[in-house]
Amino acid sequence: MTNPQAAATAPGQIRTPAAPGGPAARHRPLDLRSVRLHPAGPLGAMQERNAAATIAHCIANLRPALDYYRRVLGESDAANPGFVADTDVYKTIEAAAWEIARTGTTAWDDWLDEAVGLIGRVQDDTGYVVTWIQAEGKEHFADLEAAHEMYALGHLIQAAVALDRAGRGDLLVIARAFADLVDREFGPGQKDGICGHPEIETALVELYRHTGERRYLDLAAKMIDLRGRGLLKTGHLGAEYFQDHALVREARSAVGHAVRQLYLDAGAADVYLETGERALIDAMHAQWDSVHERKMYLTGAFGARHQGEAFGDDYELPSDRAYAETCASIADVHFNWRMLLAGDRSAAGYAEAVERELHNALAAAVDATGTRFFYASPLHLRPDRLSEGHAPRERQSWYSCACCPPNLARLIAQLGAYVATVADDALAVHLYADAEIDVPDRLGGGTLRIDTAYPADGRIRLRLNGSDGLDLALRVPGWAPGAQVDGEAAAPDEDGYLRLRLTGETVLDLDLAPRWTRAHHRADALRGSAAIERGPVVYCVEQVDLPDDVPLDDVLVEAGAPLAEHAGDGLPSLTFPAAVRPSAPGLYGPPREAGAARPVTVTAVPFAQWGNRGGDAMRVWLPAV
């Protein structure tokens, strides 16, 4: 096996998933080791559960995938575990790598030896390594639309960079050999080709940042330039499914396969961060607006259609038929983070989107054991809906296409990277969590202690140790106009950040009073309904919390009804008065009298917790008067 230190982390290379060095990056990320999330808080608890259970669960379930590498070598007769199983291995390696970078754990060293050793042995003399193509004797790069070869390379690169930043360089040697092959085949001056599933673009940019090899950035830029020129044979799926319908700089609406669109957007934002090209960031602003202002579910999920796992039209947001794939929310975290680093517009909107996703769609995607997952997370489960494909009634331990569990594992392992950045000689805090942050020396050094139970509680206490002072930029969420700092009304700047000089301790109080929310009037599926939010947390109602004689679908609420909090372990539950409408005698008929309804007290719980007590009916949006 290649010497693990053969390409070890370069001096000065920080351990973080995105480390832009170009002129367009206003915000600079912190080293993963500089942000320590405490397990007492929800984000820290997610990381601890991920390290203790989820990564090991992924490793155990990827045994067939590793056996398939042995089949390529003639050492096994294992069946094909799926044509993207390689990427599940790579994402799990990346998850382990960020845990190693964060904590120094050696828990998975034996598995990494096995996995990296197999990948290296399967790689041919050209640098190519895609097991299902090699095992079945298929021609390399003959089916760019569907073979996912460059998509696999993208995840291999990201795993290799992460592992190298954690101190182990053998996988990077393998990834670079494959990347060099693609550069020889498809780089500037060579033949044109793009992958049917975007993802390689953002990975190539990070490989450029990590190695300093400009050709990787140029290859990513070429792939961005080529998309939309009709290079792919799109067939019945259509060009929009592959984001090959329009030039990246001209596309102004998010369309087609939601995960692919958001990975492409992240890659384009990465290229902008290194080149500063105005046309790219202008296009990404339009894409961001399309995604978040017209096509995002309240929970931070994306994908209105099961067909094509796709975005729908503007304001097409059906709750019960939402595809809402976990990987789409993960891809959007990557997109938002790169837009935040650019700082071309207010970082607050990007951070608020990430916060919504983490505390709702992504928190709901895994259960309390860390071993059962949602691939798709609808906002309404009908009592008689059957499980289908990747949208089951209850979380599953694994999936035939298991892209989401290892993707979730790698994201959670790197959560600390998204808490804060350095910008304009200040430390900007984007996500609130119980944590300690090592302040960079250029800002005065010391440690910033953030003491909070957020989002269960809105009090955020910040204390500076070991330094005389620190310039801070604290995000004030858009839902907290009554925020206070040290008992006085907070006055954030236009970009949504409150700026202050911290010399000892300060307290930020955010109003977490629960509130009723309505949807835009063009969202037909949500018209006449209301939802409940408390801070960044979306609530839902489950059948299990209603009396036996009250069907959830018969509950009618009054938007504005008082919402009472009930403390528990973590986030509170909420109760409110509502009405139960009598069942109608037929499918259609004249309007019924409102007075026929009877009163009922309804309990709402955080959306992230739904389905933990069975797969009964659930609603986020409730019929309202």
Q: Which amino acids are annotated catalytic?
A: 309, 403
Q: Are 442 and 53 in contact (CB under 8 A)?
A: no
Q: Are 187 and 198 in contact (CB under 8 A)?
A: no
* Distance of alpha carbon 369 from the chain centroid: 20
Burial 396-431 (b: 16+ CB within 10 A, else e): bebbeebbbbbbbbbbbbbbbbbbbbbbeebbbbbb
CA distance 390 to 380: 16
Strand partners, 517: 531
- Other Cβ atoms less than 10 A from the Cβ of 543: the count is 20
Strand partners, 380: 619
Contacts of 104 (CB under 8 A, 6+ apart): none
Contacts of 76 (CB under 8 A, 6+ apart): 67, 68, 70
Q: Whose CA is closest to 140, among 119, 156, 124?
A: 124
CA distance 416 to 48: 12
Peptide bond into 455 cis (omega under 30): yes
Taking the CA atoms of 53, 57, 60 and 63 in sequence, report the sign of the dihedral they define.
negative
Q: Are 593 and 550 in contact (CB under 8 A)?
A: no
- DSSP for residue 605: E
Q: Whose CA is closest to 571, among 25, 42, 1, 31?
A: 42
Contacts of 513 (CB under 8 A, 6+ apart): 534
The beta strand positions in 7-46, using DSSP E, are 28-29, 35-37
Q: Whose CA is closest to 478, among 279, 315, 293?
A: 293
Residue 553, burial from CB neighbour count under 10 angstroms (0-12, 13-18, 19+): middle
Q: Whose CA is closest to 192, among 157, 152, 232?
A: 232
- Other Cβ atoms less than 10 A from the Cβ of 15: the count is 24
Helix (H) or strand (E) run with residue 265 in it: helix 258-275
* Distance of alpha carbon 120 from the chain centroid: 29
Q: Are strands 459-465 and 447-452 parallel, antiparallel or unpaired?
A: antiparallel
What DSSP string describes 583-600? Answer: PPSSSS-SPPPGGG-EEE
